[in-house]
Amino acid sequence: MDNTYYILSKDNLTIERFHFCTWDISKKPYIEFGVELTDNCFQNKNELILYFTNTFFNKGIVVKCLMENLSDEANCRFIFNDVVKSMRPLDGDKRNGNIYEFESRNKLTIIPCEVECKEGYFIIKIKKPCEIDGNIYFRFLIQLDVKHISEVKKSITKKNHIYDVKVNENRNIPDTVFSLKKEEGLYLCKISRMFCLHTIPDVYEINFVASSVLKNIRKLETDSFKKYIPSVDSINNNNSNIIFLKSENKESYSFFTILTEESISSVQLAFAVATNILCSLLFAISSIRYVREANLSWWKQIPCECYIAGSLFLLLMIYLLTPLKKKLKL
């Protein structure tokens, strides 16, 4: 899957922190996007519009604003990795957003976002809240209609999952994004810091990741994340890891990671057993080729073990070839 993204706006915005989080642990994967803007981003406007582009974005993608999920102090504490000192709802109602005060980091005004899905891009609208205290933050989750977020390369005994995440690479901007940028009068948003997190099954082995961007690798906090995003249905008992990558002060961002999954299937095992039986039969037949009794038929002189091995070989070949026959019928 193409993991090249562009974030644009008519207002030439600067994104202080950009969170990109993949969930590649269920039948249909998810991606979280989190955006932190400066407290003066609205200036004299009552609404800001951002454009997120990618080739797999389409009208059928399921999108959920996560403002309500972040209205819970416990969720907010581990998402921002800081102790929450206080939370105050905007205009007395959590549905309007919340102002969070943390122990170590600066205050955040977390507000809802409206996401409109188009072919090849999203339009994200945020309205100016009645009060701003600290930077503006919004976050949303999308469910993808693909099998993997990563690009999968298969070999005989393993699969390589390649995550090649690129954001705002101007030199490789596709024609569709260039046209959208020109027609709508958009600018690429400057990103001060980007955080990239991949949630993966713990059976995956890390084959490659750049040490310059790798912050840490840890077990997924199962109970906390179940509460935070219950819509991700495959969060269960401590069988997932999180890879945390970070980079800052760049015009564009790139995070390249290769993970390896062992994948010896039942077909491969059956093929190996069938090959072993066939080789054993050939050795057995060669050993009895010249040992014959004139009074007995040739097939009676073959040991019963060879017939058993031959039967097993025949059954294995039927097992291996049945899927092929089904495909040919289709």
pLDDT in tens, 15-49: 999 999 999 987 889 999 999 999 999 988 999 99
How confident is the model over 261-303, as pLDDT tens digits?
Answer: 886 655 566 666 767 766 676 666 656 555 556 566 766 667 6
User: d(Cα 215, Cα 76) in Å, to the nearest integer?
Assistant: 21
Q: Given a cut of 70, is residue 314 above it in pLDDT?
A: yes
Give me the architecture of the 4-262 domain, per CATH: Sandwich (2.60)
Query: In the prediction, which pLDDT does 327 show?
Result: 41
- Cα–Cα distances in angstroms (integers) from residue 302 to residues 274, 309, 314, 315, in the given order: 20, 12, 17, 20
Mean pLDDT of the chain: 87
How confident is the model over 53-93, as pLDDT tens digits?
Answer: 998 898 889 999 999 999 999 999 989 999 999 999 999 99
How confident is the model over 130-175, as pLDDT tens digits?
Answer: 999 999 999 999 998 888 899 999 876 788 999 999 999 988 899 9
Residue ranges of domains in the chain: 4-262, 266-329
User: d(Cα 304, Cα 273) in Å, to the nearest integer?
Assistant: 19
User: d(Cα 93, Cα 192) in Å, to the nearest integer?
Assistant: 31
Span 250-255, mean pLDDT? 96
Do 55 and 2 contact (CB within 8 A), yes or no? Answer: yes
Query: In the prediction, which pLDDT does 323 show?
Result: 55
CB atoms within 10 A of CB 318: 10
Query: In the prediction, which pLDDT does 1 show?
Result: 77
Q: Return the structure tokens found at 272.
A: 């190996």
Backbone angles phi, psi at 146, to 5 degrees: -135, 165
The neighbouring-strand residues paired with 197 are 21, 244
Query: In the prediction, which pLDDT does 277 show?
Result: 67
Residue environment code for 97-116, b if the CB has 16+ CB neighbours within 10 A, otherwise e: bbbbbbeeeebbbbbbbebe
Q: In 3D, which of 186, 199, 191 has the Cα closest to residue 51?
A: 186
Query: In the prediction, which pLDDT does 291 show?
Result: 55
Query: In the prediction, which pLDDT does 123 show?
Result: 97
Do 240 and 221 contact (CB within 8 A), yes or no? Answer: no
CB atoms within 10 A of CB 166: 16
Query: In the prediction, which pLDDT does 157 show?
Result: 75
Burial class, 5, CB count within 10 angstroms (exposed 0-12 / middle 13-18 / buried 19+): buried
Q: Return the structure tokens found at 85.
A: 């000192």
Give this prediction's pTM.
0.82
Do 239 and 156 contact (CB within 8 A), yes or no? Answer: no
- In this prediction, residue 321 has a pLDDT band, given cuts at 50, 70 and 90, of low
User: What stretches of the chain show up as alpha helix (H) in DSSP?
Assistant: 73-79, 175-184, 222-228, 266-288, 304-329
User: d(Cα 228, Cα 78) in Å, to the nearest integer?
Assistant: 10
With a CB cutoff of 8 Å and minimum separation 6, the contacts of 131 are 90, 91, 99, 109
Position of tokens 């060669």? 286
User: d(Cα 292, Cα 205) in Å, to the nearest integer?
Assistant: 56
Query: In the prediction, which pLDDT does 309 show?
Result: 72
> E strand or H helix at 158, and its extent?
strand 158-167
Q: In 3D, which of 112, 101, 126, 114 has the Cα closest to residue 42?
A: 126
Backbone angles phi, psi at 179, to 5 degrees: -65, -45
How confident is the model over 201-232, as pLDDT tens digits?
Answer: 998 999 999 999 999 999 999 889 989 998 88
Burial class, 327, CB count within 10 angstroms (exposed 0-12 / middle 13-18 / buried 19+): exposed
Percent of the chain topping pLDDT 90: 63
Query: In the prediction, which pLDDT does 22 show?
Result: 96
- Cα–Cα distances in angstroms (integers) from residue 176 to residues 119, 179, 208, 222, in the given order: 10, 5, 32, 39
Helix 304-329 to helix 266-288 angle, to the nearest 10 degrees? Answer: 140
Query: In the prediction, which pLDDT does 155 show?
Result: 78
Q: Given a cut of 90, is residue 236 above it in pLDDT?
A: no
Q: Return the structure tokens found at 303.
A: 């040991």
